[in-house]
Amino acid sequence: MTQDEMKQAAAEAALAFVEEGSIVGVGTGSTANHFIDGLGRMKSRIRGAVASSEASAERLAGHGIELFDLNHVSEMPVYVDGADEIDASLAMIKGGGGALTREKIVAEVATRFVCICDETKQVEVLGHYPLPVEVIPMAQALVARELSALGGRPVPRAGFVTDNGNLILDVHGLEIRDPAGLETAINQIPGVVTNGLFARRGADVLLLATPNGVRKLTAA
Ligand SMILES: O=C(CO)[C@H](O)[C@H](O)COP(=O)(O)O
């Protein structure tokens, strides 16, 4: 089974978490794209979706799924998205696709965060995958110095601009023993929009695809 087939299997399993007549929160990335395609098949049974990126909005619209402005949505039973790394407590590193800020905003509104991953994303300690940090351009040098002081090696993501018009610093070399503490500490740096640690609000359910099927894990 290829990695992409596993991503698709996890995405298909997430369709069971979609409530009839609801507005669905939708993530970004290749795994989320499989979920969007599945949602397209059941579009008559949902009201619509809130997208976490322009790319996902375009794909949802391509399936004829109505898009909602988050400011007009007060109830969203589920948010479904992939991750770059996830640990046993269901804390994650996200933002490989650069959509971390909108992902965190949409996820916060949802009652339940369902993470869809293939087994390669499961780790004991977060940080092998570089941690994305979205930064307001004029603060790039300041934020880079502060991230270095926290023990990381920030590398600007070349040629990349977020949907919000900002930059991404990918922070290498972190061994993240306290994900919620580091998430808060980085977000305190002036000029940081947000960082890709999803620990204060981790996943509620993990659908982890393996060659032997999709395992369901829930947060303790
Ligand atoms: O956080 C994300 C995008 O900002 C993605 O969920 C993450 O990068 C995983 O991507 P993929 O499903 O393509 O492996």
Encode pLDDT of 27-36 as tens digits.
Answer: 999 999 999 9
- 131-194 folds as Alpha-Beta Plaits (3.30.70)
Of the candidates 124, 89, 111, the residue with the CA atom closest to the CA atom of residue 199 = 89
Q: How confident is the model at residue 104 (pLDDT cuts 50, 70, 90)?
A: very high
Contact present, 78 and 26 (Cβ < 8 Å)? no
Q: What is the pLDDT of residues 170-200, one digit of tens each?
A: 999 999 999 999 999 999 999 999 999 999 9
Beta-bridge partners for 114: 80, 205
How many CB atoms are closer than 10 A to CB 62? 11
Give the whole-angstrom CA distance, residue 47 versus residue 144.
42
Q: 20-48 as b/e, with b when 16 or more CB fall inside 10 Å?
A: eebbbbbbbbebbbbbbebbeeeeeebeb
Q: How many contiguous H segments (helices) and E segments (strands) does the chain have?
A: 6, 13
Q: Indicate the domain borders of the chain.
A: 3-123+200-218, 131-194
- Amino acid letter at 28? T
Is residue 132 lining ligand 1, measured as CB closer than 6 Å?
A: no
Q: Where are the alpha helices (DSSP H) in 95-218?
A: 100-109, 140-149, 179-187
Which residue has a Cα nearest atom 8 of ligand 1?
Answer: 96
Give the whole-angstrom CA distance, residue 123 versus residue 125.
6
pTM (two decimals): 0.97
Asked if the model's pLDDT at residue 220 lies above 80, the reply is no
- Amino acid letter at 180? A
Is residue 100 lining ligand 1, measured as CB closer than 6 Å?
A: yes
Q: What is the assigned CATH class of domain 3-123+200-218?
A: alpha beta
The pLDDT, as a whole number, for residue 151 is 96
Q: What is the pLDDT of residues 76-93, one digit of tens each?
A: 999 999 999 999 999 999
Measured in degrees and rounded to the nearest 5, phi and psi for residue 205 equal -135, 135
Judge if ipTM > 0.90: yes
Known catalytic residue: 103? yes
Is residue 130 lining ligand 1, measured as CB closer than 6 Å?
A: no
The pLDDT, as a whole number, for residue 92 is 98
